[in-house]
Amino acid sequence: MFGLLGKVGFDPLVGRKLYHLFHRAGFRRIDVQAMPHHLIAGRADPHQLENWETKFRTIRPYALKAFPSAQAYDQFVDACMERFKAEDSLTYSVTFIVSGVC
């Protein structure tokens, strides 16, 4: 999946690279904070499911560029939505906040 996203210029791991990029750019006193953007343990509630359906629908025109076909994207979305509905699932994403002094 990450390889497909890279083909359209999206780097899902960029947050983990920010400290290095700040350091390389000459920043000092670099501060890094990591915060959960979303965290779902167990079955997602109806509001969370609706939110993810909206996200997938909104990015569909752009995401199709990263998939070999519309069907492949739709299958990916279906698999994700099933994962969100699973009782034994843990899904999360992290927001990184990085600051420094030039």
User: What confidence score (pLDDT) does residue 85 get?
Assistant: 97
pLDDT, one tens digit per residue, over 11-44 is 878 888 999 999 999 999 999 999 988 899 999 9
Domain that holds residue 16: 2-101
User: Residue 61: CB partners within 8 Å, gap ≥ 6?
Assistant: none
pLDDT value of residue 6: 65
> Is pTM, for the whole model, over 0.75?
no
Q: How many domains does the chain have?
A: 1
Bigger pLDDT: 62 vs 27:
27
Q: Is 56 within 8 Å of 15 (Cβ atoms)?
A: no
Q: Between 46-63 and 70-85, two packed helices, what is the crossing angle to 10 degrees?
A: 160
Q: What is the pLDDT of residues 65-102, one digit of tens each?
A: 889 999 999 999 999 999 999 999 999 989 999 999 99
